[in-house]
């Protein structure tokens, strides 16, 4: 399963990097989507941590409820692909 996830992230990163380099308008949309994903990802994570602290369940597994959040999972997945895309775009830009 882990191999499939890594292959998917690699293919997604390559495709997104190619689209960002080939089409200028898509670059802006991908960046705006990354901002929304960033806010969703860290908002959900912060909510889980604050809830755990308020409920005084620090030494229990309540904080792991964040792993059931669709917003957390989808935004985290996009940020993984987007981050790899940016690294590849920077690498390709420096080599040319």
- What does pLDDT average to over the chain? 87
- CA 68, CA 51: separation in Å to the nearest integer? 15
- Whether residue 79 contacts residue 38, with contact meaning beta carbons closer than 8 Å, is answered with yes
Q: Would you give the distance in Å from CA 52 to the centre of its chain?
A: 23
Number of separate domains in the chain: 1
What is the spatial distance between Cα 22 and Cα 78, in angstroms, rounded to a whole number?
20
- Enter the tokens of residue 4: 């499939």
Between these two residues, 92 and 54, which has the higher pLDDT value? Answer: 54
Domain span at residue 39 reads 2-95
Give residue-wise pLDDT tens across range 51-76.
Answer: 888 888 877 777 788 888 899 999 99
81-90 tens-digit pLDDT: 999 999 888 8
């Amino acid at each position: 399963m882990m191999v499939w996830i890594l292959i998917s992230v690699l293919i997604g990163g390559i495709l997104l990097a190619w689209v960002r380099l080939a089409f200028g308008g898509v670059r802006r949309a991908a960046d705006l989507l990354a901002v929304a994903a960033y806010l969703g990802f860290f908002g959900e994570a912060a909510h889980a941590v604050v809830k755990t602290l308020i409920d005084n369940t620090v030494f229990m597994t309540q904080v792991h409820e964040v792993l059931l959040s669709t917003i957390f999972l989808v935004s985290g997945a996009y940020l993984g692909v987007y981050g790899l895309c940016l690294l590849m775009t920077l690498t390709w830009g420096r080599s040319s």
